[in-house]
Structure 1
Amino acid sequence: MDERMWHQSSDVSLVIRTDFAHPQEWTAIQAAIVEPQTEDGFTASVAFVDDRAFEGITPSQLLEVVPADFNHAVAFLVDTKALTHPDRPILVVNLYDYVEDLEDQGKGSQYGATFRVLPSETWSVQNNLTISNMDWEEFAGNANAEGIFRGF
């Protein structure tokens, strides 16, 4: 694992591949994430991590390897479900939960929480959570019964 990946600009979110059995689907998801989705050309600002050190990693395991000085709002896990489900829902992991007066800032009750997002909506989640324009609950609360955020 290249430790430098954790220290990129906080404006860039990591998209981590955890399944290595579906290479064509991984390529398709990457293309879908970076494709402009709005009239204004908004895209997700991401760095793709294609490292077998993350093979099969779960959200709780991810939290164990995230460095203490990592200052990103979310990470995206491209797991088996994302690569095999017809809608390709990517797992979003909350890496920063601000709670006023909490001593261990960033690790509130929503730290490590998850929902899934369509590749076409990744830009919205990434852009808005990265700059704190919207809160975690606004996206997670709008996920459907399957736990997938499909847009507003």
Structure 2
Amino acid sequence: MLRTDFSDDAAWHAACAASSAPSPEGFAAGLSFVSELRFAGLTIEEVVVMASSPRRNFVFVVDGVTIRDSEAPILAIDLRREPGRWFRVVPARMWSVEVNLSLANMDFSDFADNVDSDGVFRGFS
């Protein structure tokens, strides 16, 4: 999970804790947290260029929206099939997105196509 907004350290730490917390069933996202000032203010396009590698299919970003919004929706960006396609995910559902994408149980589009009207994935209906 890449930090691009450095305006609120407490909000960053809260997003990290909430997104890595296990589900009631015990599933947890396998996340690494990157907080380096050199990534401040990166756009989606810049993240795609910077994060693209043969080993990465997606990346999560804590940006200004995450920091300011009460739900702290984290930006998920596709790096492989449709580079730059994105949606947001509430921290409580991060485990579902990360685990299923990492295991290739589901595609990025399975989540991106099931967001609420505001572009945020809160789970499958």
TM over 0.5: yes
Q: Which has the larger radius of gyration?
A: 1
Please name the residue that 2:86 is paired with.
Answer: 114
Indicate if the aligned counterparts of 1:74 and 1:92 stay in contact, CA closer than 8 A. Answer: yes
Report percent identity of matched pairs.
37
Shift of 1:71: 1.2
- Separation in 1, partners of 2:5, 2:90: 17
Matches within 5 A, 1:111-150: 111-150=83-122
Tell me the SS of whatever aligns to 2:41: coil
- Separation in 1, partners of 2:107, 2:2: 22
Shift of 1:138: 1.1
Matches within 5 A, 1:51-62: 51-62=36-47
Please name the residue that 2:70 is paired with.
Answer: 86
Tell me the SS of whatever aligns to 1:64: helix
Shift of 1:70: 3.7
**TM-score normalized by structure 1?**
0.78
- Separation in 1, partners of 2:35, 2:103: 25
- Separation in 2, partners of 1:136, 1:63: 15
1:81-140 deviation digits (Å, cap 9, x = unpaired): 00110110000000121xxxxxxxxxxxx2210000001111111111111101112101
Please name the residue that 1:6 is paired with.
Answer: none
AA aligned opposite 2:13: T
Which runs of 5 or more structure 1 residues have no equivalent in the other structure? 1-14, 98-109
Indicate if the aligned counterparts of 2:5 and 2:40 stay in contact, CA closer than 8 A. Answer: yes
AA aligned opposite 1:89: P
Deviant stretches of 4+, over 6 Å: none
- Separation in 2, partners of 1:129, 1:53: 27
- Separation in 2, partners of 1:44, 1:123: 4
Matches within 5 A, 1:27-66: 27-39=13-25, 41-66=26-51
AA aligned opposite 1:50: S
**TM-score normalized by structure 2?**
0.94
Shift of 1:33: 1.1
Q: How many residues align?
A: 124
Give RMSD over aligned pairs: 1.1
